[in-house]
Copies of this chain bind each other. A is one copy, B any other.
Amino acid sequence: MTARLRMTRAERSEQTRAELVEAARTVFLRRGFHGASLDEISAEAGYTTGAVYSRFGGKDELFLAVVDDHLERRTRLYADAAEDAGDFESAHREIMRAAIAVGREEPRWTPLLMEFWTHAARDDELRAAVAERNQRNLDASAQLQEAVADRHGTTLLRSPQEMQRAVTAMARGLSLERQIVPDAGLEALFEDCVIALLRAFTEPRSTE
């Protein structure tokens, strides 16, 4: 594998941390939050259980690290997807296409995240940690949407946060359903609904 002997302590522990997060992501997706054991995760990364406690506060904190990593990647992905589109609506079609593609690759991400949310809702401190990440994610999406609207001369009739919440809610609801009823029609339905919502909540900017 990677050479371990030449690394400083800081490099070494940072690498361990990253490997554990990556393994945790894999195993959490495979087994769900409750179903995944720290044994399996640490073994997947080539360590023992104690390593998790050396780098993280416990199972919850490890999961939060997975979430942070995930949100960063997704934020970049969507920003890139919107980059080259010619108008407001097709920018959103590109974002949706990207969202649908990653949804196919990792259909269990949304159920996993929602499973964790439900777990976190019962613990004040953990819920706050989740809420903060949710807000960060919402702000990033809203900022992207505003930028896209600006770039293509579109006026939002609702705050971008609200629009993002609605779209995300629908995406999550459909992802959850898909795990019970795999159905390709859900993706097309999702696209049509989002376009309908966008049209209802935006208008071309008057050139004044």
Q: Which residues of A contact B (CB under 8 A)?
A: 31-32, 34-35, 111-112, 114-115, 117-122, 127, 130-131, 134-135, 162, 165-166, 168-174, 176-177, 179-181, 185-186, 189, 193, 196-197, 199-201
- A35→B121 contact, CB < 8 A: no
Option from B35, B166, B169 in Cβ contact (under 8 Å) with A122 = B35
Option from B134, B189, B197 in Cβ contact (under 8 Å) with A177 = B134
- A117→B169 contact, CB < 8 A: no
Chain B residues with CB under 8 Å of A165's CB are 174, 177, 186, 189
Closest 4 CB pairs of A and B: A169-B173, A196-B200, A172-B173, A121-B179
Chain B residues with CB under 8 Å of A130's CB are 180
The docked-state distance in angstroms from the alpha carbon of A117 to that of B186 is: 17
- B169→A118 contact, CB < 8 A: no
Question: Given A180-B134, A181-B134, are A168 and B173 also a contact pair (CB < 8 Å)?
Answer: yes
- B118→A32 contact, CB < 8 A: yes
Chain B residues with CB under 8 Å of A168's CB are 173, 177
A198 to chain B, nearest CB (A): 10
- A120→B169 contact, CB < 8 A: no
Chain B residues with CB under 8 Å of A185's CB are 162
- B173→A193 contact, CB < 8 A: no
Chain B residues with CB under 8 Å of A127's CB are 180
A123 to chain B, nearest CB (A): 11
- A32→B176 contact, CB < 8 A: no
- B117→A118 contact, CB < 8 A: no
Chain B residues with CB under 8 Å of A179's CB are 117-118, 121
Most buried by B among A31, A114, A131, A185: A114
The docked-state distance in angstroms from the alpha carbon of A130 to that of B180 is: 7
Chain B residue with the shortest CB-CB distance to A134: B180
The docked-state distance in angstroms from the alpha carbon of A134 to that of B118 is: 21
Chain B residues with CB under 8 Å of A193's CB are 166, 197
Question: What are 20 A-B contacts with C-beta separation under 8 Å?
Answer: A31-B122, A32-B122, A35-B122, A112-B118, A115-B115, A118-B179, A134-B181, A162-B189, A165-B174, A165-B186, A165-B189, A168-B173, A169-B176, A169-B177, A171-B173, A172-B173, A172-B176, A196-B196, A196-B200, A197-B197
